[in-house]
Amino acid sequence: MALPKLDPDQRRAALVKAAEARRIRAELKQMLKAGEVSLRDVLDRSGSADALAKMRVSEVLEAMPAYGPVKARALMEELDIAASRRLRGLGPRQRERLLETFEDRP
């Protein structure tokens, strides 16, 4: 599929929108790493915020305290979540199992 031709104003608006989405995702990951928000908060917010809904599950897990790429990948495999899955694409059981995993932690 070819990309649509954008006039300069449309291109500028798209760039601003993309930059805002990246800023929102970066802030959320920082807050998650600091423990200011919980995974439940992130999943709840992803229902209404398009920028968050498009985040990969692996990005969110890697932002969790004490989690990195290896632990995140292992958890996703354990919960049968595809590496390319985004928050919006999580099924109800996957979402619940993720929440159970992090709510059971001390």
3-state secondary structure the chain: CCCCCCCHHHHHHHHHHHHHHHHHHHHHHHHHHHCCCCHHHHHHHHCCCHHHHCCEHHHHHHHCCCCCHHHHHHHHHHCCCCCCCEHHHCCHHHHHHHHHHHHCCC
Q: Structure pTM?
A: 0.83
pLDDT value, residue 103: 81
**CATH number reported for the structural domain that contains residue 74 in this entry:** 1.10.8.50
Is 36 a domain residue?
Answer: yes
Is 7 a domain residue?
Answer: no
pLDDT category of residue 3 using cuts at 50, 70 and 90: confident
Is 22 a domain residue?
Answer: yes
Is 71 a domain residue?
Answer: yes
pLDDT value, residue 15: 94
- Domain around 52: 18-103
Is 24 a domain residue?
Answer: yes
Total domains, the chain: 1
Is 28 a domain residue?
Answer: yes
Q: For 39-89, how does the pLDDT look when each residue is reduced to its tens digit (9 = 90+)?
A: 999 999 998 889 999 999 999 999 998 899 999 999 999 999 999 999 999
